[in-house]
Amino acid sequence: MVPAAAVATAAPWTMGGRRVTSAPTTAPAPPAWPPSPHADGAEGAPLLGDGVRAAAAPSPTVGDRWPRRVAPPPPASSAAYDTSPSPLRPPPPPPRWGGGGPRRGGGHPPPPPKPDRPMDWPTFRRVLLVALLQALAVAMAVPVRPKLLLDAVGGSASRAAAVTGALSALDAVVEVVSNPALGHVSDVHGRRAVLVLAQAGLAAELGVTAAFAARWQAYVAATLVGASTGVFFMTLSTVTADLAVGTGEAAAAYGALGATYGVAFAAGPALGGAMAAAAYPTAPLHGAMAAVALNAAAVVWLLPETSPAGVAPRGGGGGGGDCGWGGGGSSDGGHCGVARPAPLDGGAGGGGGGGGGGGTPLSRPDATSINPLPRLRVLFRSDVLRWLGATVAASSVAAGGLGSMLFFYTNVRFGWGPRETGRFISAVGVSMIVSQGVLARPAVALLGERPLILLGYGLKAAHLVLYGLARSGRDMYGALGVATLGYAAGPAFKGLIARQVGPEEQGALQGGLAALATVVQPVAPLVATGLFGYYNERGMPGVPLFVMGGMTLVAMAIAAKALSHPQLK
């Protein structure tokens, strides 16, 4: 037998030629065991599973001979078993770019989050129908109203552009209050009521313009009416968020919505210009009013309520049939395929166990709740939303300037009228169909969501500069081809913003974003039309387009900061 002293002073010992661990400082006391009838003591030990026996004590006749079958040996270094925190141990490597960390190495982007619920495609198809009719009505009037205003102010393009800029600024100022307020109303009372209200406002705006087209005061009144209720497309975007967020189909849904707008703008402007040339100047406005009336009926009879607050009263079980199909209250308080979150006033959500009860009703809006400034707080809740909001603000400056001067720019430089302008805007609609309906999803899969957004802003800036350099109508269409690739980033950016808040605050988020855009949007038409009037008299009407291209580059830089934030969802 090996003496105990030899064991205590031995170097690291081996078992079957394999190093196990460092030797103990003192020899363990030999445990008591009954004499084993076996030679090595292993066959008589109890089984531990998988045919491995427990280590039996050595036989007195064999000495310190160890069992032949034991658990696998530990690694060569005993430090591998040390899991206690140590200041000397290096921290784990940071995640690679795309996995939520700021590191920009290689690696693959993280997999998309698993959907929480299925997408309600039948309801979304009705949303697309409503969007098509409303966008068609708006698009029919787009190439006609600037021409009517140009005639009302005596035919001066610079003066008409100045009036358009002032009206656009007035529209934006009114929307600062109306958009967040009506967004809150849609969260409290449902989306359909706000959609119908917006349709009534658009019909009144078109009617006033058509009846008093020769008076510039009519355009002021029409602007006030339209701006007070012009939340239809914002609310429809909120409906899309109600249906798509949490299903994994948000980018596809926003892409289909943008493609639907593209279809309307592919047909509406050309149709409006043709109607004005073939019939009488205000014929497109009357046709647009008819389309709005038809669409209001579609909202009332075809479109179900999607707001979490409007599908069923709080505190009670969900009834069946509210959304066009049967079903009762659910255990999570959900209804119509939309989860019912906690109310905005802090009350509890629906109770469990199949009742949907236990909640408190949403409070009525008061002067404090409809104040636009508190509604903007959702954009300042986190650094990510602040940077995304700044991106929207910068890009809205460029978009607002382009819309206020495009007709007058093409009229001065190329001699275009309503028919030619309508055809070009229809081409813009076709590009939206191609980009958002065909290219959006494969572009996200190929490039990733974040690189595609940055590329989109860069291409939008380039196409604005090319507009300013255009010397013929063919050059304008060539610049539009560059913009087609940039438009594909729009659905991805909208889906990314919608993921930053829960479903109960989608209306507040969309209203806050719209209010943020309208806070800065009055600057865009005033600056763009002012620059146009100044440089048009000097033979350089394209300078405002260069300025808007620079603002788009600023938006791209801000977006890059937002997309690199580690808290981005």
| Distance separating alpha carbons of residues 151 and 148, to the nearest angstrom | 5
**Domain membership flag for residue 501:** yes
Q: Tens of pLDDT along the chain (569 residues)?
A: 444 444 444 444 444 444 444 444 444 455 444 444 444 444 444 444 444 444 444 444 444 444 455 555 555 544 444 545 455 555 555 444 444 444 444 445 455 566 677 888 899 999 999 999 999 999 999 999 999 998 898 888 888 988 988 898 888 788 777 877 888 888 888 899 999 999 999 999 999 999 999 888 899 999 999 988 888 998 998 899 889 888 888 878 988 888 788 788 889 999 998 999 888 999 999 999 999 999 999 999 999 988 876 554 333 333 333 333 333 333 333 333 333 233 333 333 333 333 333 333 333 444 444 455 666 677 777 788 888 888 888 888 887 788 888 899 999 999 898 889 989 988 887 887 788 778 888 888 888 888 889 999 999 999 999 999 998 889 999 999 888 888 888 888 888 888 887 776 777 777 677 667 667 777 888 888 888 988 888 888 889 999 999 989 999 999 888 888 877 87
**Domain membership flag for residue 331:** no
**Domain membership flag for residue 59:** no
Question: Of 306, 323, 339, which closes a domain?
Answer: 306
**Domain membership flag for residue 31:** no
Question: Of 258, 287, 306, which closes a domain?
Answer: 306
Is pTM beyond 0.85? Reply is: no
| Distance separating alpha carbons of residues 387 and 560, to the nearest angstrom | 9
Q: Which pair of structure tokens corresponds to residue 411?
A: 């009229």
Is the same domain home to 415 and 272? no
**Domain membership flag for residue 319:** no
**Domain membership flag for residue 179:** yes
**Domain membership flag for residue 291:** yes
Please state the φ and ψ torsions of residue 20, each to the nearest 5 degrees: -110, -60
Q: Which pair of structure tokens corresponds to residue 91?
A: 């921290």
**Domain membership flag for residue 428:** yes
Is the same domain home to 282 and 196? yes
Taking alpha carbons only, the member of 544, 529, 419, 399 closest to residue 147 is: 419
| Distance separating alpha carbons of residues 19 and 25, to the nearest angstrom | 17
Is the same domain home to 156 and 301? yes
| CATH number of the domain encompassing residue 181 | 1.20.1250.20
Is the same domain home to 387 and 297? no
Is the same domain home to 288 and 437? no
Residue 153: domain span: 118-306
Is the same domain home to 425 and 516? yes
Is the same domain home to 505 and 412? yes
Is the same domain home to 276 and 185? yes
Is the same domain home to 246 and 394? no
Q: What is the DSSP string of 467-489?
A: HHH--SHHHHHHHHHHHHHHHTH
To the nearest 10°, report the CA torsion of 92, 97, 103, 107: 60
Question: Of 306, 332, 348, which closes a domain?
Answer: 306
Is the same domain home to 276 and 169? yes
Is the same domain home to 449 and 537? yes
Is the same domain home to 130 and 211? yes
| Distance separating alpha carbons of residues 380 and 392, to the nearest angstrom | 14
How many domains does the chain divide into?
A: 2
